[in-house]
Amino acid sequence: MIVFDQCSYQYSKKTPLETTAIKAVSLKLEKAQLTALMGRTGSGKTTLANLAAGLLEPGEGSVFVDDLDTREKRNSLKISQKVGLVFQYPETQFFCPTVGEEIEFALKNFNIDNPYRMLTIKALENVGLNASYIDRNPFKLSGGEQRLVAIASIICWEPDYLFFDEPTAGLDALYKKQVLSVIKQLEKSGKGVYMITHDTKLVKNEAKRLVVLCEGRLFYDGGVQLFFEDSQNMEKTGIFEIF
């Protein structure tokens, strides 16, 4: 599991622009349980994901991924292989001229000893695409196709934990259904899957567990329905149901 132990993080530390994003958060994120991360913009959700992936190092406290301390440089590669992060805007992840090269980059970077082309096709098929996308330019795909390629570029190396930042934002009904199908399949396979989202309907329909941050602190951790049954929870956190 991923364990946050009294974890805090400040941006622009020791400068006039210092901002505390996470304050003394203690939390355990488990596998095989689709978990939603919610809170106002700036509450610390994405920072939490970046800390779990080892992209940020906690200022105070610690983060462990399967007992690997993210503060220890020797663990960086192992943690990178264990934790995948799909950004809100997939085009920010792309830097290769073709879909195939985009997906194969991670495989080569991690020195995965398998035929790259076979794993690339498998990753595309797992998100509902096919081999015809391999030679296409990722920047010229539709928004839904880009989202699926971004997911394929992460799941190709089979990380144990995956964070999705607003996975269905801006998608039409067809691609939203396809992305959710991929997420639920990952959960079913035993992966740790965590959705950062403001979509209360999505959370109520799909998530098994809800973690809510408020002003950088852990406000709630528990069942989805219990949170929404208390109107004071929504007033304090700014999370309201969308019908």
Tokens coding 162? 């995956």
Judge contact between 191 and 197, C-beta under 8 A.
Answer: no
3-class secondary structure, 217: strand
CA distance 51 to 61: 11
CA distance 197 to 127: 20
CA distance 4 to 58: 10
Beta strands in the chain (DSSP E): 2-11, 19-29, 35-38, 60-65, 68-69, 83-86, 161-165, 192-196, 209-214, 217-222
CA distance 170 to 3: 31
| 166 flagged as catalytic | yes
Q: What is the pLDDT at residue 112?
A: 78
Give the residue ranges of the chain where pLDDT is below 70: 241-243
3-class secondary structure, 69: strand
Q: What is the pTM of this model?
A: 0.93
The yes/no answer on whether domain 2-13+20-237 falls in CATH 2.60.40.10 is no
- Helix (H) or strand (E) run with residue 16 in it: none
The count of residues in the chain is 243
Beta strands in 42-109 (DSSP E): 60-65, 68-69, 83-86
Q: What is the pLDDT at residue 242?
A: 59
Q: Which residue of the set 166, 215, 229, 241 is catalytic?
A: 166
